Amino acid sequence: MKKIRLASLLLVFGVLVLCLLSIKTKAASVYSNYLNAKKLNSGLVYEPTLILELNDLDELNDDANKCITSVILNLDNNLNVILGSETYQFNTFFDDYLKGKYIPIVRLNNKNVDGFINYYKNVYTIYDLMIISDDLDVIGKVYNDDATYILNSVYDMTSIDLPASRFANWEYVSGCNRVGCNILMANATDSNLEVFTEYVQAMSKVCWAKGDSLLDNVNTLASGCYGAVGSSTANLKEAISYFERSGWNHAQYVAAHRGITKYCNENSLTGCLAAYSEGATHIEVDLQVLADNNIVLCHNSQTNFNSDKNGWYFVNVTLDNLRKAKLNDYNINYSETYTTLEELVNNMIKTDVIMIIELKFDNGSIEAVDNLACIENFKRIMDSIPGAYGHFYAITFFAPLAEKMKQLMPEVPLGYIGGARSGKETTLNQTAWGAGGGHKEMYDYANKIKFLRHYNIGLDESYTYTNTSGEYYSNLTAGFYLARGYVQNTWTYEDTLHFRMQSSIATSNAAEECAYLIKKIDNAKMELTKAELASGKVNVKTYSYNGWESVKECDIIILEQDEKCAKVLLYYYEEEGQYGLYSNIVNVDIK
C-alpha cells in the first residue's frame, strides 16, 4: 500500500514538474511582429539592405539610422549585449532600443550557442531575429534545433581570404547550404569581392560585405552585394547616396528558359549551348526520369509534348527506346533526340553558365519518387561527373522532391517555385506544402518564412505576368525577404522588361535579345585631365552579355579627389534594355 502511495506521489510530482516546465515555456516573452525593410530611396532596381554592426549606442540615436534595417549585436557568454565597456541584458536592450525598429542579428560562438538556444525557447522568443557566426557548426546547431525558430543565419567570412577562382567559392556555398544558412558575409576590402559576390548570388544565395570606412561601404555596393555592413550609420547612408541613378549595382542575371528556343528545340543540347553563346548567365532546364533510371531533359511527362512519338510516358520508357524519338517543337532538321542529364552537365561544366535544374520528375508522382528513386538517381549521376557540383542548383514545385533533396543533397541550394504540389493529390485543389497543406496560408510572412526555412529553400518567385493584359505586377515585398536572406528570382519573362524589375535572376524566353546589352563597365585604372574629370563624362570600354567589347560614354560619379588622383564610379544607361548599370570603383590618375 505504501509503495502504491509512493508511486502515486511520484506520479503527481512528475506531472507538476511537467506542468511547471510547460508554464515556464508558455510564460516566455514572445515578440511576433515583422518589420518592413527600410526604403533607401536610391535609384537601384534591387535595393540592398543596410546593416549596422553596433559598437556604440549613439549610433542608434543618429538620424542616419533611418536607413538601417538590421543591427548586429555582440553577445558575451551570458547573452549580454556588449558595447565597449558596457553590457546590457539582451531582453532589456531589445525592448529599449530595437523593438519595432530593427531586425536583431545576434553573434554566436561555441561558448554561447547552447545558452542562446535555451534562452530563446524559454525566456524571450523574437520571431523577427537572425544569427551570425564564423563557425558553421554553431549555425548548424541552431538550424537543427527545430524548436528554435529564427529567420535565417549569416556566415561571417570576413577573416577568410576569398579565392580568385569563381567556382572555388562552391566550398562556402555548399557548406552554408548544409546548415540552412543563406547569407555569406565577406570583407569589403578583399580584392576578390566582386568574383565572390557574382558567384554566390548566381547560386541564389545572398552576399553581404563588411567595411569600416565610407569607401568600403561604397565598394560593397559597387561589387554587387545585396547587403552592406558597417559600424557607422552616416557612412552607410552616404554610401547609398552615390547610387541615386536608376539601374543595377551589378548586371542582372539572365537565365535562358529551357535554353534558347527562338531557333533551337527547347531543352535540347543545341539550345543549351546556344544559351552559352548568347551570353546567358544561367540556363533553366527540366528533368524527367525513365523506366531504366536514366534522366533526360523535358518539361512535360509525355513525349508527345515535343517529339514525333505520341503517348509515351517517360516513367514507362527506357533510354534505348527514347533515342528513337526526334524533337520537333522547333525544326526537325536538327535531327535531335532527347538530351540526357550526363550530356548536359558534361558540356555545361566547361562554361561559366550556372544550370538551374527544375526537378519535374513526372510531377512528383509515386512512380517517379518512390519506385524509380528519381532524386537518388539524380544524385548518382551528379556524383559520377567530376566538377558537376558548384555548376548548378535546383528548383521544384513538389514537396517530396524537396524533402529528398534536403536529405540526400543538402549542399545543393534549392528554390521554391510555387504551386506546392506533392503529385499525390486526389483533386487539383489540394496542396502539399505548408502547415496542414496550407500553401494558401503562405501569404502570411511568418508561415512562409517558416516554410522556406524548414525546407531550406529560397524563392523563385516575385512577379506575376498576365498574357491577357501584357502587364507585370511587382511583388512589393521583395525587400522584406531580401533583408532576411531570401533572394527572389522569377519565372518567366517573354521580353526584356525584366531589366527594370526587382529580380535577381530573370528567367527569359527571349534570352537571345539580351546578348548585346551591356553587362559590365571596365574598371581598369585610367588617366584623365582635370577638365576631363570635371566634364563628368568619359568614353570607356564595356562588355555585353555575350562578351562583345564596345566603347561607350559613361557618366563619372566622383567619390573622392585630390590634386593627383581620384576614385570614381562610372554609370552607363543602356537605351535598348532601358536600364542603368554602375561600375566598380575606378582609380583615376589626374594628368
461 & 573 share domain: no
For 539-566, write each residue's pLDDT tens digit. Answer: 999 999 999 999 999 999 999 999 999 9
Give the model's pLDDT for residue 418.
Answer: 61
* pLDDT-derived band at 13, boundaries 50, 70, 90: very low
pLDDT for 335: 81
Residues 289 and 325 in one domain: yes
- One domain for residues 146 and 60: yes
The helix (H) or strand (E) run that includes residue 193 is: helix 193-202
**CA gap 217, 239 in Å, rounded:** 6
**Residue span of the structural domain in which 162 resides:** 32-241
Separation of alpha carbons 37 and 162, rounded Å: 29
Pair (448, 524) in one structural domain: no
491 belongs to a structural domain: yes
Please report where in the chains the cell 524527367 appears, as a residue.
288
Which tops the pLDDT comparison, 528 or 13? 528
- Residue 478 belongs to domain with CATH number: 3.20.20.190
Q: How does residue 334 score in pLDDT terms, banded at 50, 70 and 90?
A: confident
Q: Is residue 246 part of a domain?
A: no
Average pLDDT for 180-206: 97
C-alpha cell recorded at residue 145: 534545433
At residue 476, the pLDDT reads 45
Q: What is the DSSP string of 204-234?
A: T-EEEEE-SSHHHHHHHHHTT-SEEEES-HH
Does one domain contain both 215 and 318?
Answer: no
Among 80-84, 309-313, 579-583, name the one with the lowest average pLDDT.
Answer: 309-313
- Per-residue pLDDT at 391: 98
User: If you count DSSP H runs as helices and E runs as strands, how many of each does the chain have, helices first?
Assistant: 18, 30
Domain boundary, last residue among 186, 221, 241: 241
Question: What's residue 19's pLDDT?
Answer: 41
* Whether 84 and 9 share a structural domain: no
What is the predicted pLDDT for the residue at 469? 42
**Would you state the pLDDT for residue 403?**
87
Q: Which residues pair with 83 in a beta bridge?
A: 86
d(C-alpha 84, C-alpha 104), whole Å = 18
Which of 62-71, 224-233, 432-441 reaches the highest mean pLDDT? 224-233
pLDDT of residue 364: 86
* 76 domain-assigned: yes
Q: What is the pLDDT of residue 460?
A: 65
User: Rounded mean pLDDT of 121-127?
Assistant: 92
Mean pLDDT across 89-93: 94
Q: Are the C-beta atoms of residues 327 and 270 closer than 8 Å to each other?
A: no
Residue 408 host element (H or E) = helix 399-408
Domain closes at, from 219, 241, 263 = 241
Same domain, 230 and 358: no
Q: At what angle do helices 341-348 and 269-277 cross, to 10 degrees?
A: 20
Quick one: 78 and 200 in the same domain? yes
Dihedral pair phi/psi, residue 316, rounded to 5°: -110, 0
Question: Considering the chain, what is the average pLDDT of its residues?
Answer: 87
Among the ranges given (175-184, 199-208, 319-328), the one the predictor scored with the smallest mean pLDDT? 319-328
Indicate whether 228 and 318 sit together in one domain: no
Cβ pair 120, 114 in contact under 8 A: no
Say if residue 434's pLDDT is above 50: no
Same domain, 22 and 36: no
Residues 69 and 21 in one domain: no
Name the domain count of the chain: 4
pTM: 0.91
| Confidence check: pLDDT of 226 > 70 | yes
Q: Are residue 233 and residue 340 in the same domain, yes or no?
A: no
For 519-536, what is the mean pLDDT? 96
CA distance 300 to 564: 63
> Cell numbers 518567366 label which residue?
492
Where does a domain end: 514, 546, 568?
514
